Chain A
């Protein structure tokens, strides 16, 4: 079964608009972490934001925020006031087994975001 599902293969958004990238996850582990990474055409994966399973509040990092709905197993990324430089692939990822010190990330298939001027 897919552990991380990103249902939007591609999205097109006008510059300065807000955009929401969807991510749902599947785990029975009570302790887990959720990440969003951005991958521009250069290939490097750039960390954007993190949400822990026990965090009470939604994470925010500048223009990025994470809409965490634990009961629905949803961790959507919201980018406010999009910019041309936001055009890239975006990956949702989950780390399980935190109690065991696991470092492995499981990634979704990604969403290609294109910002139009």
Chain B
């Protein structure tokens, strides 16, 4: 069974541009969540989607948005990029949300560099 796939693996953008990151969950998984990882702030929750609906959102500005498609694939978008948006963006999937011991399966992430 293929794992969580994130594309692209690396991305370089300049300030003010926008970017779209893609995540394909494990087959059969319907819940997708996104995390931002930086050396200074560590791992922070961005948002979570289930059945094409955003269930939870972290404390990030409106420039960060996402969506989920009917096949459970998810995209996140960052508009008007800032230098501080440089980070590893991790996507995680799970079969369904809410099970107490349900572990999240993570992808290898997209490393975004904003110049």
Option from B56, B88, B101, B106 in Cβ contact (under 8 Å) with A33: B101
> Is the CB of A90 closer than 8 A to any CB of chain B?
no
* A98, B111: Cα distance in complex, Å: 31
| Among B17-25, B60-68, B73-81, B92-100, the stretch in contact with A | B92-100
The B interface is mostly helix, strand or loop, or mixed, namely: strand
> Is the CB of B86 closer than 8 A to any CB of chain A?
no
* B contact residues around A108 at 8 Å (CB): 42
* B contact residues around A46 at 8 Å (CB): 106
Task: Tell me the smallest distance from the CB of A25 to a CB of chain B, in Å.
Answer: 15
Knowing A42-B108, A44-B108, say if A102 contacts B42 (CB, 8 Å).
Answer: no
> Is the CB of B11 closer than 8 A to any CB of chain A?
no
> Is the CB of B103 closer than 8 A to any CB of chain A?
yes
B111 x A104 contact (CB < 8 A): no
A110 x B42 contact (CB < 8 A): yes
Option from A37, A91, A98, A105 in Cβ contact (under 8 Å) with B45: A105
Of the four ranges (under 10, 10 to 19, 20 to 34, 35 or more), the interface on chain A belongs to 20 to 34
Option from B50, B92, B98 in Cβ contact (under 8 Å) with A98: B98
> Is the CB of B16 closer than 8 A to any CB of chain A?
no
A102 x B100 contact (CB < 8 A): no
> Is the CB of B72 closer than 8 A to any CB of chain A?
no
Knowing A31-B100, A43-B111, A52-B101, say if A103 contacts B31 (CB, 8 Å).
Answer: yes
B100 x A104 contact (CB < 8 A): no
* A contact residues around B3 at 8 Å (CB): 44
B43 x A102 contact (CB < 8 A): no
> Is the CB of B58 closer than 8 A to any CB of chain A?
yes
Known: A105-B104, A107-B35. 13 other contacts (CB 8 A): A43-B90, A44-B106, A45-B104, A46-B106, A47-B105, A50-B103, A52-B101, A91-B43, A93-B43, A95-B100, A103-B55, A105-B35, A107-B42
